Structures are given as structure tokens and as C-alpha cells.
Amino acid sequence: RFFDSFHRHLSSPGTAILKREEPPTGSEEPGLPGNRKTFSEVQKERHEQAQRSILISCPKKVPEKRLLKHLCQHGEITNHFFFESFGIHAVIEYSKKESIASLQDSTFIPHGETEFPIPFKSRFFNINLKNPSNQISDGTLVQCSDQSSPSNVDLVEMLCNAESVEGQIITLMRILQVTEENIRLRYLTCSLIEDIAAAYFPACTVKPFGSSVNSFGKLGCDLDMFLDLDDIGKNSAAKTAGSFSMEYQVKNVSSERWATQKILSVIGECLDNFGPGCVSVQKILHARCPLVRFSHQASGFQCDLTANNRIALKSSELLYIYGTLDSRVRALAFSVRYWARQQALTSSIPGAWLTNFSLTIMVIFFLQKRSPPIIPSIDYLKNLAGAEDKCIIEGNDCTLVSNLDRIKPSLNTETLDILLCQFFEYFGNFAFNKNSINIRKGKEQNKPDSSPIYIQNPFEPTLNVSRNVNENQLERFVHLARESAWILQQEDKSQLSKSSSHPWGLAALLLPSGLNKSKAKKPGKGPTNETIRKLLESIKADSAKRSTATREK
């Protein structure tokens, strides 16, 4: 099914192909100087768009035109799409917020016989056909946009059909990256949570951060969001003219951390008790960064809600800047992160392994170290900043230039296949025992403590982003990096025929690590050994099964 929809995307002109290829930054023409939006412009636009949007759970077979006509009674619809997650859902974007109020006025709270509703009027609705049998036949059924990534077997097969390793790297990124629709759904989900928090703090915002906004997001990645209460009261400061100054009576607690824990605890209760579609709510308030974890069933996102987390948003902006500056940054990061996941170097469970965030910083550092550099250091980005960009958070200078047109493009012309191989070579031989990775300076520094790997946090210099990683995991990373560099170099020498019947280039690196190990031990034997042959047979059997199943449907 994925292949069908992927080929549809590739073959049909118009919007479908754009949805897969469009970089997920929200900018119209990324890469064109003078036309790049700043990070906060993108955030603001997306936030406002989400506030004009609603989420609807629809019947299985829904006549699209009739549904839209029905919803248009409340105002003009500027955008919509359907997706599948525990049934069919629609995201509808109105041109004006007022349309939603009108729709809410004409919507009922359901009354069950045995179940009792909590009458919370949100922007998440159910829509039912009054007379299903009459209506289905006269409307076209909806097409759903993909919200999940393909299996590794499918992906390996697609990569084998590429022309070059560079082509494979770009294909991998295009297939895995979050789509335009998925980004909209992420902002809408935050906006729905914001409505719940706004019951207590009317001027609050709930902002997505991390991979949902930093341009490195993969379909299926978690949704990191934070409750921003800092904007509350900002405007009122100017209004205190005259002989008196007024302030609110507030409750005080002994630390900021405690305030955050209290607020998150209450919002967590609200999500659990009143939040439509919010399930498995867990309060993890004693973590270094207290959070509420929950599943937003309708959108399918695993959400982490934090508060008071402006530095993490700034890190997201930093990664967004690097991702926008040079197209090789995102392409390489997607390959390295996916490779690490397939080799079980990263995991969805927290533990002593590397994280996607650490790997992205390693890619950035490597690209800063090329000669000439592909991207500049953070200090360079700070020095180009204007007065309006000044930003100090909790005593840390987080200033970054927001106008990306001030940054000179790189003179480095290295191709992605060279960079991928060199990345593995570089970190396969990095002196982790004495040096730390520092993207603020773009240079390695002496390690300040004995952690196996030390990656300085971009904005909190005393923190090590990879503090959790143990010696064993670092050794595995180094070993697999060396092995991968070796595989890519061997292939380069032997000029193997690039066929879809045996994994080559990047695809060969995505095989289970046992297969790579057997190859590494027998240099010169080439990749067509018995184990790989078996794997290919199973890939082929799997595709055959899938195409039979599609035909039968």
C-alpha cells in the first residue's frame, strides 16, 4: 500500500509530489536568498493557522464534497486533508477563527444511555451521516494522507533503485521527513492542548519544539511541546502610568521548579479528565525537566508537555537555522539518524544510548570541521545578530542571527556520498577519550570530565548533551562507524553494479548489524555472501506477498 501511494506521489503532478518534497520549514521558497522566513515568523504563522483549524472524526466512508459543503456553512475553508488514525479524521482550516465559534454553537454535547459526558467544548468533533446508506453512493470517498513512514524492507528496496549514494541519501530524507500535513497536525494538536491550559491561564501558548519544528523531524517522531506562560502580563507592564503601580495578588512557592511542577500537575489532571482524545496521561514531575507524557489518540502523536523550556525552543531554532543554511545538513542528518536506529544505536526507550539530538549535533560539528566549512559556528551566528536578536535565557546568552540572508553560503562543494563516508571515518577515529564536541566554537576542546563522550550543550555550556551514554554504547558506535566507512569505501573501489537485487551504498548500511559484522570480518569477499542472499530472498518474498495482498484487496 505504501508503494502504491509513494508511486502516486511521484507520478502525479501538482500538489501530491510537493507534499513529499517540500522541506518542512513552512517557508515558501527555502534556499532562495531574500525569501527565507525567520524561525519566529514560521512559528507565528503556523500557530495562527492552527487556531483557525479543527479536527473531526469522520465515518469510515465519508462523501468529501458533501462534508465540505456542510462545513462551509460556517465560513470559508482555506485548507483541508484527511488521515487515518483510529478511524478517518479530517483537519479543516477556516479562513477566520469566528467560523469555529459558529460551528461550536451548532454542535451538540452527546448524551449516552450509560455513559456521561464531561461537557468540554473543544475544537475536536465527531461528525455522523444522518442517513448513511443514501449518501455514500453519490460522493467520492476521501483520500488519506500518509502519517507514518515505510518499513525498513520497503525503504531498502527503494534505495536500491536510486542512481547513486547521493541519490539514496536524498531519497531517504524525502521519504522519512514529516510532510506538510503532518506539521499542520502537530501545530493543531498543540493548539488543542493550549485551549485546555488556557482555561487556567488565558494568555498562555503551547509551542511545539524539538524535531517537530527544527526541520529534522521524521514521520512518527514524538511531539515535544511546552507551555509558555512568559508572555502573560508582558503588555500590561506599559500601562502602569500614574501614581500607583498595580500588581496581581499571586500565590508564591519557594522555587521556579516547584511552580512548574504544580502547574504541570494541574494541567496533567485536566488532560486526563477533560482532554478529548488524550489517553495514558503520565506525570513525570521529578525528572530534571518535569513533564506530562500522554498519547493524543486522534492524531497518533506521543506527546511530552513541559513548561518553562525556552532554551529547548532556542536549540530548535539553532537546528532550524543549520537545516535551512545548506541542504546537505538535513540530508546527512536523516541518513545518520536512520542508520543509528537500524543499528540499534538509538532507541525509543530512554537509556545509556545516543539520542537523535546528540547525533544531529555530531553531524553539525562534522560539517563545521570540513575544509572549507559547510556551516559556521554558533559564535559566528551570534556575531552576525542584530540588536533585535539579543536573547538571554536563565543567564545564558542564546543570541542568534534571525535574518539568514546575512550568512554567506559555503564555498565547500563536497557531495553527500563523500560526506557520508567521511562522517563515519571522522567519528570512527575521533579522540573521544580526550576531546569534547563543541559546536559553539566549531572546534574540539579538552574534555571537562570523564564521561565517555562529551557533547557540549549549545546554550548551557556546563551540560553534556550525551551524559547518559556509557562506554559500551560509545564503543558500539565507533565500531559501527568504522565498519560503515569501510563498506562504503570498498564499494567505491569495486564499482559494483547498482542493482535493485542487492543492497548497495546506503542501503547496505541499513542491514542488521550482524550482517555488516560478517562482512567486516571477511574483507575482500564483497557483499553478496550467503546471509545477504537470504535477506534479499526474504525481501523479495515480502514484496511478492504484499503485491498479492494489494491485488486481492
Q: Which residues bind ligand CTP (CB under 6 A)?
A: 209-211, 214, 221-222, 224, 312, 315-316, 355-357, 465
Does position 219 interact with Mg ion (CB under 5 A)? The reply is: no
CA dist., res. 457 & res. 547, Å (int)? 47
Q: Which is nearer to ligand CTP, 124 or 301 (CB)?
A: 301
Q: Which is nearer to Mg ion, 341 or 370 (CB)?
A: 341
Report residue 392 CA to chain centroid gap. 26
Contact 59, 65 (CB under 8 A): no
465 binds, among Mg ion, ligand CTP, none (CB under 5 to 8 A by kind): ligand CTP
**Which of these, 81, 104, 99, lies nearest to 91 by C-alpha position?**
81
315 binds, among Mg ion, ligand CTP, none (CB under 5 to 8 A by kind): ligand CTP
| Residue number, nearest CB to ligand CTP | 210
CA dist., res. 151 & res. 140, Å (int)? 30
Q: Which is nearer to Mg ion, 179 or 377 (CB)?
A: 179
Q: How far separated are the first and last CA of the chain, in Å rounded?
A: 10
Q: Which is nearer to ligand CTP, 357 or 430 (CB)?
A: 357
Does position 224 interact with Mg ion (CB under 5 A)? The reply is: yes
Q: Which is nearer to ligand CTP, 213 or 384 (CB)?
A: 213
**Segment interacting with Mg ion (CB under 5 A) among 221-229, 305-313, 368-376, 441-449:** 221-229
**Binds Mg ion by CB under 5 A, chosen from 24, 210, 275, 323:** 210
357 binds, among Mg ion, ligand CTP, none (CB under 5 to 8 A by kind): ligand CTP
- Give the shortest CB-151-to-ligand CTP separation in angstroms: 18
Q: Which is nearer to ligand CTP, 188 or 465 (CB)?
A: 465
Element (H, E) at 83: strand 77-84
- Give the shortest CB-343-to-ligand CTP separation in angstroms: 15
Does position 302 interact with Mg ion (CB under 5 A)? The reply is: no
Distances, alpha carbon 489 to alpha carbons 331, 472, 504, 510, in Å = 20, 26, 12, 16
Q: Which is nearer to ligand CTP, 156 or 319 (CB)?
A: 319
**Segment interacting with Mg ion (CB under 5 A) among 5-13, 223-231, 274-282, 305-313:** 223-231
Does position 368 interact with Mg ion (CB under 5 A)? The reply is: no
CA dist., res. 74 & res. 100, Å (int)? 7
Grid coordinates representing 524 are 575482500
What's the DSSP call for residue 218?
A: B
Grid coordinates representing 326 are 545548506
- Give the shortest CB-266-to-ligand CTP separation in angstroms: 23
CA dist., res. 553 & res. 550, Å (int)? 5
**Which of these, 441, 399, 205, 183, lies nearest to 309 by C-alpha position?**
205
Distances, alpha carbon 379 to alpha carbons 17, 128, 400, 436, 459, in Å = 38, 56, 8, 17, 11
CA dist., res. 175 & res. 158, Å (int)? 10
| Residue number, nearest CB to Mg ion | 210
Does position 492 interact with Mg ion (CB under 5 A)? The reply is: no
CA dist., res. 453 & res. 435, Å (int)? 8
**Which of these, 78, 83, 53, lies nearest to 192 by C-alpha position?**
53
Q: Which is nearer to ligand CTP, 214 or 368 (CB)?
A: 214
Using CB under 5 A as the criterion, which residues of the chain lie in contact with Mg ion when the complex forms? Answer: 210-211, 222, 224
